[in-house]
Structure 1
Amino acid sequence: MAKQHVAVLMGGWSSEREVSLTSGRACAKALREEGFSVTEIDVGRDLAEQLAKIKPDVAFNALHGPYGEDGTVQGLLEILGIPYTHSGVLASALAMNKPMAKDIWRAHGLPMAEGKVVHRSAFGKSPVLPHPYVIKPLNEGSSVGVHIVFEGDNYQPQDDASWRFGDYVLVERYIPGREIQVAVMGDRVLGAIEIRAHGRFYDYEAKYTDGKATHLMPAPVDKNVYEEICAQALKAHQALGCRGVTRSDWRYDDTAGEPGRFYLLEINTQPGMTPLSLVPEIAAHCGISFGELVRWMVEDASCAR
């Protein structure tokens, strides 16, 4: 039997391009070691022509950010009839749009921080929320564009010349406590990990620079809390109709002692697969090697989901 031909899609033109290239190269290498025939594609706007030329059996989507994980490239792959990894068009679009995802999760009773969508100009008027609060782009990942505004801070996105994420932002109440992330693989929860950033919070630099954060696997929280946050992560995954692998981000407020309260922040339908990424680390703790993980993703690939 001929080797299954996998096109690994990476790069693109989002703000997470470099992370995607690292993820894609790692996945391509592992897939070759697992016996697949692999073509690496640095995605451009001629992606349809490239795919028509090489005719892969499966697309491994290692893109991050807009166009790669917001349902856009998923729609193209549906049109071309190429099975692809991770979530489908609708789930990808919903997960990437934080306010829409929150509306669905709220209807399912999932715990979340209070927040609202406001225009950038609102920050020059009355306070948008009591301090401290968090400002986020509506549809970016990897903590790109995220700012925590504490009492005394005067950050305002309308005055930020580097802001390139649109005129509307999501503002949420800042949740003190700990950073917990949970990996789901199909209908199975792999586990929860705690991240202790060495800086102010688990930002882009902490996620992708070695030595900027400490990883604790499994997350050292109350046993009942651990089980509940894992169950709620699966619920969040299923509520959006996700498939494949996802990683959900949570805050766990134990400042008043254990057990504390946990809050869902967002879900990543195409989590990073870099050497510092959390899903491979959580999977390894469960006895699943990196090669086994990416093989499973390819075997799980499909269209029309």
Structure 2
Amino acid sequence: MKIVVLAGGTSPERDVSLSSGSKIYYALKARGHQVILLDVYLGLDTDVPVTEALFEACVDWAKDIQAVSESHPDLSRLKEQRKDGGRSMFGPNVLTLCEMADIVFLGLHGANGEDGRIQAAFDLMGIRYTGTGYLSSALAMDKSLSKQLFAAAGIPTPKGISLKNGQSADSASLSYPCMVKTVCGGSSVGTYRVDRPEDLADVLADAYTFGEDVIVEQFITGREFSVGVIDGKALPVIEIAPLQGFYDYKNKYQPGSTIETCPAELSDELTRQLQGYAEQVFEALKLTSYARIDFMMDSADQSFYCLEANTLPGMTPTSLLPQEAAAIGMTFEDLCEELIEVSLARYERT
């Protein structure tokens, strides 16, 4: 197949996306597909006519991709790399090449990639892509809306309040520690643990730099888990145990920062319960194709709480979904093929 892998973009998760995209690119190349890796924002700026021959060109499209750094990237200079000033999310020739492809593998993360906007544009243009549709992407991306849907479906989720930029919380009415999260962030960018009431105002001010909406959420003391779901069926549970702090951006993407155990050391009963919740979340958010669902388990009573759903989960060397797939004997190349197949099946059903 002719496949475009889209990565990069303009979210704080840009570097993570590029790392995911490069790994996907090499896996699909190894399977004999004709693959092009593109930065959705920078595109392919060339004076040479763009034709389908590019899919057959002897080019390593991922050779300049670097490892994910300890901190999220500085995006302020990104627009300077676009000759047109970056008026559109789609860089030069991106849409042209995506229209030529049999399918676009979305290796994007975060805003302007995982929030349904690109999915909606592709739907209007008749471009096939991996992952769920535009509406379910948007619902899952908005932590405030998704928590409401979890509650309506009877899926436990930490108690929380939603705030808009300019609003302040009554710090005295909250229990500490608590978590502050930008509503539409990912990779734990814009996520903070607040231990003291006097720190809340400064943390909120920083969180608002990532978006206009935040949630202040009950802190759950216990173990953290994630469950991948492919075509509605849960994969083995993986446990995430950071060596220091919580599962933040650094601990997610720096090798050796976190101990990950898959299958997680849980009883059969708790494993089935957690996988059941993951499949319920998949259904409640009207997800299709695949996703990864994150949970906490309260150490006091072993109750599970759903944190969020990731509709385009990471595919980096340290990412969770590939580890879960490996636990059932699926190689990374197998996983990439499977995600394409379940995504194409969505088009066959419509």
Q: By the TM > 0.5 criterion, same fold?
A: yes
Unaligned runs of 5+ in 2: 42-88
Tell me the residue number matched to 1:141. 186
Tell me the residue number matched to 1:38. 35
Q: Once the two structures are superposed, what CA deviation does each residue of 1:48-76 show, in whole Å capped at 9, x if it has no partner? A: 84232461110000000101010001011
C-alpha change, 1:114 and 1:28, in structure 2 (3 Å) is: same
Are 2:214 and 1:172 aligned? no
Given candidates 249, 253, 257, the residue that maps to 1:208 is 253
Question: Which amino acid is 2:176 matched to?
Answer: H
* Percent identity for Structure 1 against Structure 2: 35
Tell me the residue number matched to 2:162. 117
Structure 2: distance between partners of 1:53 and 1:225: 46
Unaligned runs of 5+ in 1: none
Structure 2: distance between partners of 1:73 and 1:152: 39
Tell me the residue number matched to 1:18. 15
User: TM-score, structure 2 length as denominator?
Assistant: 0.81
Given candidates 269, 275, 300, the residue that maps to 1:224 is 269
Q: How many residues are paired up?
A: 299
Structure 2: distance between partners of 1:280 and 1:21: 16
Q: Once the two structures are superposed, what CA deviation does each residue of 1:218-258 show, in whole Å capped at 9, x if it has no partner? A: 111232111100011011011111112211110001235xx
What pairs up with 1:129-278 in 2 under 5 angstroms? 129-151=174-196, 154-157=199-202, 160=205, 163-256=208-301, 260-278=302-320
By how many angstroms is 1:10 displaced?
Answer: 0.3
SS in 2 for 1:214: strand
Tell me the residue number matched to 1:60. 105
C-alpha change, 1:57 and 1:124, in structure 2 (3 Å) is: closer
Let me know the Cα RMSD of the aligned residues.
Answer: 2.0
Tell me the residue number matched to 2:52. none
What pairs up with 1:99-114 in 2 under 5 angstroms? 99-114=144-159
Structure 2: distance between partners of 1:138 and 1:29: 33
Question: Which amino acid is 2:327 matched to?
Answer: H
By how many angstroms is 1:35 displaced?
Answer: 1.5
SS in 1 for 2:172: coil
C-alpha change, 1:124 and 1:187, in structure 2 (3 Å) is: closer
SS in 1 for 2:199: coil
Tell me the residue number matched to 2:327. 285
